[in-house]
Amino acid sequence: MMNATQTIICSNFLAELGEIIADFPSQNIYILTDTHSREYCLPKLMELSQLSGSHLITIPSGDEHKNIHSVMQVWEFLSSNKANRNSLLINLGGGVVTDLGGFVAATFKRGIEFLNISTTLLGAVDAATGAKTGINFLGLKNEIGSFASARAVLIDVDFFRTLDIPNIRSGYAEMLKHALIESPQAWEDTLSFDLDRIDFDRLRGLLASNIRIKERIVAQDPKEQGLRKTLNLGHTFGHAFESLSYTLKEPLLHGYAVVWGLVCELYLSHLKLAFPQKELTRFAALAREYYGGFRPECQHYEALLELMTHDKKNDSEQINFTLLAALGEPRVNQSATREEIFECLDFLREGC
């Protein structure tokens, strides 16, 4: 059984980080970051004297670099710089860094300790928590990975002030998903957040309650045998959209792909489980207002269907969906016909 990860919504980031890494000599600490986080976030970390002798590893920013080549680069650096099983890897960045860094830590010398410091809203609410690690492979999202628990996850909301609006909205998409599977009250609370005028103090509280939703689910089902599958709402379509976007050299932000995946899967929920039309219409309107239109070309329907058949959540020949019977009432292990999937894509083209 995996150890539970301590998630800290920081009030004094440097002091809390210093306490977590107190057992590690600085020369045995390795910091993995990407080019964006190195520029905007690393200077704050380096104010901590405990990191003065640490080693820095930088990979290029972007989901296209969450691959085996980047993993090999980090493995090589760790090996060349005498990392051992008593080393600590600090993953400083968004979801790409924490996913990839967690996978590196889980596999280097059969496992070293790691710490996630999320610098994006998406990373904080999605990749940094939940003990999943992974990389993309052969054009498929998170095809290779492992379950591994970080020593701790530190979230400093002040880092999010460096994000542009699309990246704030990308993270908010995962918060919407958590609220949909939790309860009508969580849904209303999340919808009440003003995306046009970001209140970072309010965001801190909303993020804390949102992460608790995920942590409660993960604690009950750490290896995704049942309940944890509810967290896949919106992701069967969403991951297919994301993978196709990289094939077309028109990459989508993960949260945008998830929002459009949610539109499709809420429509499928309406078709198969009588999810309320009112809430479907409400969500589609939100998607249009904050995430713009998305109209997959009919010529790409077959490619999207094929991508869904390779989704790692499938445990049979059928494509596996998580759907909603109502707000807060998820249903896992749902299936759909080819015709129903294409009808969802038609709805997305017309409704968003």
pLDDT-based confidence at 1, cuts 50/70/90? very low
Rg from Cα positions in the chain: 20
C-alpha 79/C-alpha 107 separation (Å) is: 12
Q: Which of 136-140, 175-179, 196-200 has the lowest mean pLDDT?
A: 136-140
Q: Is the pLDDT assigned to residue 347 strictly greater than 60? A: yes
Give me the residue label for tokens 């591994």.
148
Q: Is the pLDDT assigned to residue 316 strictly greater than 70? A: no
pLDDT per position as a tens digit, 271-309: 999 999 999 999 999 999 999 988 899 999 999 999 999
CB distance 266 to 258 below 8 Å = no
Report CA dihedral (263, 144, 106, 15) to the nearest 10 degrees: -30
Distance set, CA 172 to CA 7, 13, 63, 167, 175 (Å): 19, 22, 18, 9, 5
Which secondary structure element, helix H or strand E, spans residue 93, and what is its range?
strand 88-93
Q: At what angle do helices 254-273 and 235-247 cross, to 10 degrees?
A: 140
Q: What is the pLDDT of residue 128?
A: 67
Residues 229-239, buried b or exposed e (16+ Cβ, 10 A)? bbbbbbbbbbb
User: Strand 152-155 relative to strand 113-118: parallel, antiparallel, unpaired?
Assistant: parallel
CB distance 92 to 42 below 8 Å = yes
Write the secondary structure of 103-139 as one string of H (helix), E (strand) and C (coil). HHHHHHHHCCEEEEEECCHHHHHHHCCCCEEEEEECC
Torsion-angle region of 9 (φ positive above 0: left; ψ -120 to 50: alpha; else: beta): beta
Residues 6 or more apart from 90 whose CB is under 8 A from it?
21, 29, 30, 31, 32, 45, 54, 114, 115, 117
User: Which residues face 34 on adjacent strands?
Assistant: 59
Q: Which of 48-52, 124-128, 202-206, 339-343 has the lowest mean pLDDT?
A: 124-128
pLDDT-based confidence at 225, cuts 50/70/90? confident
Q: Residue 339, class by beta-carbon neighbours within 10 Å (0-12 exposed, 13-18 middle, 19+ buried)?
A: exposed
Task: Please name the amino acid found at residue 281.
Answer: T
Q: Report H helices in the chain.
A: 13-20, 35-40, 42-45, 68-80, 95-107, 121-122, 165-182, 184-191, 200-220, 235-247, 254-273, 277-291, 301-309, 338-351
Q: Is the pLDDT assigned to residue 2 strictly greater than 60? A: no
Q: What domains are defined for the chain?
A: 6-162 (3.40.50.1970), 169-351 (1.20.1090.10)
Q: What is the pLDDT of residue 221?
A: 87
Distance set, CA 276 to CA 175, 187, 227, 351 (Å): 20, 14, 22, 16
User: Strand 140-147 relative to strand 152-155: parallel, antiparallel, unpaired?
Assistant: unpaired
C-alpha 135/C-alpha 340 separation (Å) is: 30
C-alpha 114/C-alpha 95 separation (Å) is: 15
CB distance 324 to 233 below 8 Å = yes
pLDDT per position as a tens digit, 108-124: 999 999 999 999 999 99
Nearest of 51, 115, 119 to residue 88 by alpha carbon: 115
